[in-house]
Amino acid sequence: MTQADQLSRRERQIMDILYRLGKASAKDVMHNMEDAPSYSSVRTLLGKLVEKGHVDHRESGLKYVYFPLVAREKASRSALGNVVKTFFDDSPYLAVNSLLDMSINDLSDQELDQLKAMIQARKNTQNNN
């Protein structure tokens, strides 16, 4: 992962807003942020996201409308990989174990069966390679 892939807390907030809205002006972003910084700070953050290649913009009248360039799935994989590396010693096993400890009572029997099927499918794919 390059330094450009790593986002600050505020940049992640903005990306979340852009994914949720699909596209937004700096003012729209600011209105959707908790404890939003100033308008000029939001514009600066959006500019940094453009520089990092996560966001692009187009002119719409007198304002810019920003939209994400990185697919949400790709961004989430990158973020999750960073969390696993940082907090779980780069061990998917430890990360999954922690998630299950947090949410085992919230998972239905059907969801647990689906997880089991996904694990089995991955094992089968690995064995066939």
Location of structure tokens 């942020």? 33
Residue 1 has pLDDT above 80, yes or no: no
Domain match, 15 and 53 both: yes
Average pLDDT over residues 4-22: 87
Would the pLDDT of 31 be above 90?
yes
For residue 66 the two structure tokens come to 């920003």
pTM (whole model) above 0.95:
no
Tell me, yes or no, whether 85 lies in a domain: no
* pLDDT of 75: 78
First to last CA, the chain: 26
Domain-located, residue 54: yes
Tell me which residue range forms the domain holding 40. Answer: 3-68
Residue-averaged pLDDT of the chain:
90
Total domains in the chain come to 2
pLDDT recorded at residue 70: 82
Instruction: Provide the strand spans (E) within 1-129.
Output: 55-60, 63-68
Do 117 and 64 share a structural domain?
no
Asked if residue 10 belongs to a domain, the reply is yes
Give domain status of residue 103, yes or no: yes
In a domain, 104, yes or no: yes
Lowest-confidence segment of 16-20, 21-25, 101-105 by average pLDDT: 101-105
Sign of the CA dihedral with 33 first, then 36, 37, and 39 last = positive
User: Which domain CATH number covers 40?
Assistant: 1.10.10.10
Q: How many helices (H) and strands (E) does the chain have?
A: 6, 2
Pick the closest to residue 28 from 38, 17, 40, 41 (CA basis).
17
Q: What is the pLDDT of residues 54-99, one digit of tens each?
A: 999 999 999 999 999 988 888 788 878 888 999 999 999 999 999 8
Distance of CA 53 to the CA centre of its chain: 14
- The answer to whether residue 15 is domain-embedded is yes
